[in-house]
Amino acid sequence: MAVSIYWIRRDLRLADNPALTAAADNGQSVLPVYIHAPDEAGAWANGEASNWWLHHSLSALAQSLADHGLPLVIRRGESLATLDALIEETGATAVHWNRLYDPALIRRDKAIKAQLKHRGLAVHSHNAALLHEPWTIQTGTGGDYKAFTPFWRACRKLADPEPPLPVPALKAPEHAGTISSLKPEDLGLLPRIRWDAGLAANWQPGEAGAWQRLGDFLPKTLGAYEPGRDFPAEPGTSRLSPHLHFGEISPRQIWQAVQQQLAQGGDEATTTSIETFLSEIGWREFAHHVLYHHPDFPDAPLNPRFADFPWQEDADGQLLAAWQQGRTGIPLVDAGMRELYATGWMHNRVRMVVGSFLVKNLRLPWQAGEAWFWDTLVDADLAANSLGWQWVAGSGADAAPYFRIFNPVRQSERFDPEGEYIARWVPELAGLAVKHRHAPWEAPASVLADAGVTLGIDYPHPMVDLKASRQAALAAFEQIKKT
Ligand SMILES: Cc1cc2nc3c(=O)[nH]c(=O)nc-3n(C[C@H](O)[C@H](O)[C@H](O)COP(=O)(O)OP(=O)(O)OC[C@H]3O[C@@H](n4cnc5c(N)ncnc54)[C@H](O)[C@@H]3O)c2cc1C
């Protein structure tokens, strides 16, 4: 019986999996293989939080495959050489995988496809991660989109995505049990300094965890997504981002589940919420579109003027460290940075605020923030992270204009009006009355004393003056505008 290799990458699920379905087609036996080759991602190998996720997601996938009678073969080493060895061992005649869109991985996969085809293998790649692959959406003149709204309009004009695929009937190759494999724990993916307790408390990596999240979100939260999604103290968003990134659930599956909810009817507010949520899935598509057309997007500003931006000196790294550790003295910023470190995730509104503070008030390069997010986010995604940071910096596609500088105190008053989010993550300020939590340095000395807060001891003084740093950022921006 012919054997097909299913090469697993960031598609850690069984349902709606085109490569797995094609590998199992015509009753072929399937060998699922995960190859650990971090160097092949170049500078963008997984950060620590992503590796933590991967460890647990691989374990969950191994269990699901075992429930279907299939082993998960895990190997470490160069991808092509590892595939070659497995082809030799099993006599496999076909290799299937789902496509990835990180520039270094596109290059690798193209080269591997050519080599395997040359050796006479049937090699097929499939789309499992996107509603519309980056090259399928084009402007009227055949170019790529630089702005989200027309991009999404073009996507919405197309037919709805195909219905998701069921889990195929799966059959293991003969002697599958004799094929050697590592275990997830052999890959050394868990952090050496065990900072991951908060990750484990907040997340369940794997396909079942993804469906659990969607199942919670659809009936409870989706209908009030607008405006609930803007309030970081509330569970107002889906938290599906790491599950989507690792391919534990597909956008097509989410799309279908949301359409079913829409078909049940609802008032105008519910319909608006659903459309807004779908457009966020659209932002994910847009991020992939931009990255595909601009492979240096993670490293270089899309608007080349920003290459000459006069960033602030931070020779000893103290400014960056204060931001990373959530001790800037600006409560909403600190709350966000601490949420990130503790849980591997941060609310989108707060991502925008902490980003703006880093790039505009501290005037540190957006790439420094991007790198920290890359290491600490469980949803770290090359396309979405680059888009987010270039948006914040004002240098990217459909970016916030540079002169729009978030005031973190106003943002806090508006989107955390009860100061709950601040109290949760900056507990040293929880004793302050709500109105003083947003800017404790403005509170009268007696109020601070009554709450047991001494600025500079219990909680830092603000590390910059928000108004003066805003002016300095605008002046720096004026400089590059002239270039
Ligand atoms: C500076 C910065 C960095 C970011 N880095 C990442 C990242 O590394 N990975 C990541 O997935 N998102 C990133 N985002 C986008 C966004 O913050 C997260 O996708 C969102 O907070 C995830 O939470 P959720 O799943 O509850 O989102 P929901 O609001 O429930 O949205 C549903 C899904 O839509 C997608 N999505 C939503 N907003 C965006 C967006 N602006 N861009 C791209 N996709 C989006 C995500 O896949 C998300 O899971 C970043 C945003 C900023 C401002």
User: 331 CA to middle of ligand 1, Å?
Assistant: 22
The protein residue with its alpha carbon nearest to ligand 1, atom 47, reads: 241
Residue closest by Cα to atom 44 of ligand 1: 284
| pLDDT at residue 402, rounded to an integer | 83
CATH for 129-162+207-293, among 3.40.50.300, 1.25.40.80, 3.40.50.2000, 3.30.10.20? Answer: 1.25.40.80
Ligand 1 center–CA 389 separation, angstroms: 11
With CA atoms as reference, report the closest residue to 393 among 318, 476, 455.
476
Confidence of residue 304 (pLDDT cuts 50, 70, 90): very high
In this prediction, residue 3 has a pLDDT band, given cuts at 50, 70 and 90, of very high
- Is the CB of residue 458 below 6 angstroms from any atom belonging to ligand 1? no
The pLDDT value recorded for residue 66 is: 98
Coil/strand/helix, residue 455: strand
User: What are the structural domain ranges in the chain?
Assistant: 1-127, 129-162+207-293, 304-482
Q: Report, as residue numbers or ranges, the catalytic residues.
A: 280, 283, 311, 348, 366, 389
The pLDDT of residue 482 = 74
Q: Which tens digit of pLDDT belongs to each residue from 194-236?
A: 889 999 999 999 999 999 999 999 999 999 999 999 999 999 9
pLDDT mean over 330-343? 98
Residues 6+ apart with CB under 8 A from 292: 101, 106, 134, 135, 144
CA of 266 from ligand 1 middle (Å) equals 26
Q: Could you tell me the pLDDT band of residue 399, with boundaries at 50, 70 and 90?
A: confident
DSSP per-residue letters across 34-45: EEE-GGGGGGG-
Distant-in-sequence, close-in-space partners of 253: CB < 8 Å, separation ≥ 6: 15, 16, 164, 214
Query: Which residue lies with its CA nearest to atom 19 of ligand 1?
Result: 241
Task: Confirm or reject: Cβ of 225 under 6 Å from ligand 1.
Answer: no
Average model confidence (pLDDT) for the chain? 97
Q: What is the mean pLDDT of residues 405-413?
A: 98
Model confidence at 276: pLDDT above 80: yes
pLDDT for position 34: 98
Task: Report the run of H or E that residue 408 belongs to, with start and end.
Answer: helix 408-415
Residue 242 C-alpha to ligand 1 middle, in angstroms? 9
Query: How far is 395 from 302, CA to CA, in rounded Å?
Result: 6
* Least confident stretch, 177-186, 206-215, 256-265: 256-265
Q: Does ligand 1 lie within 6 Å of residue 226's CB atom?
A: no
- CATH number assigned to the domain covering 1-127: 3.40.50.620
| Ligand 1 and 373: CB distance under 6 A | yes
pLDDT the model gives residue 408: 98
**What mean pLDDT do residues 74-98 have?**
98
Length of the chain: 483
If pLDDT is split at 50, 70 and 90, which confidence band does 65 have?
very high
The angle that helices 268-293 and 148-157 make with each other, rounded to 10 degrees, is 110
What is the atom index within ligand 1 of the atom nearest the CA of 245? 11
Mean pLDDT of 449-468: 98
**What is the number of alpha carbons within 13 Å of residue 78 lying toward its C-beta?**
7
Please report the pLDDT score of residue 403 as a whole number. Answer: 86
Region 83-106: mean pLDDT is 98
Q: For 6-45, what is each residue's pLDDT tens digit?
A: 999 999 999 999 999 999 998 999 999 999 999 999 999 9
Q: What is the pLDDT of residue 262?
A: 87
Ligand 1 mutation target, pool 241, 253, 411, most atoms within 8 A of CB: 241
CA gap 327, 336 in Å, rounded = 11
- Does residue 483 register a pLDDT over 90? no
Instruction: Give the model's confidence band at 1: pLDDT under 50 very low, under 70 low, under 90 confident, else very high.
Output: confident
Over residues 407-426, mean pLDDT:
98
Cα 326 from Cα 421, distance rounded (Å)? 14
Average pLDDT over residues 111-132: 98
Interatomic CA distance for residues 98 and 81, integer angstroms: 19
Q: How confident is the model at residue 211, as a pLDDT?
A: 98
What local confidence, expressed as pLDDT, does residue 20 receive? 98
Tens digit of each residue's pLDDT (9 = 90 or more) over 444-454 = 999 999 999 99
Helices (H), 91-121: 103-118
CATH code, 304-482:
1.10.579.10
Tell me the mean pLDDT in the region 272-298. Answer: 97
Distance 348 CA to ligand 1 centre (A): 6
Q: CB of 351 closer than 6 A to ligand 1?
A: yes
pLDDT category of residue 398 using cuts at 50, 70 and 90: confident
| 289 within ligand 1 shell (Cβ under 6 A) | no
pLDDT band at 418 (very low <50, low <70, confident <90, very high): very high
Pick from 358, 336, 329, 356: nearest CA to 429 = 329
* Surface-to-core class of residue 441, CB atoms within 10 Å of its CB (0-12 exposed, 13-18 middle, 19+ buried): middle
pLDDT, position 26: 86
Residue whose CA is at the smallest distance from ligand 1 atom 26: 239
* Residue 284 CB less than 6 A away from ligand 1: yes
What is the distance in A from the centroid of ligand 1 to the CA of 363? 23
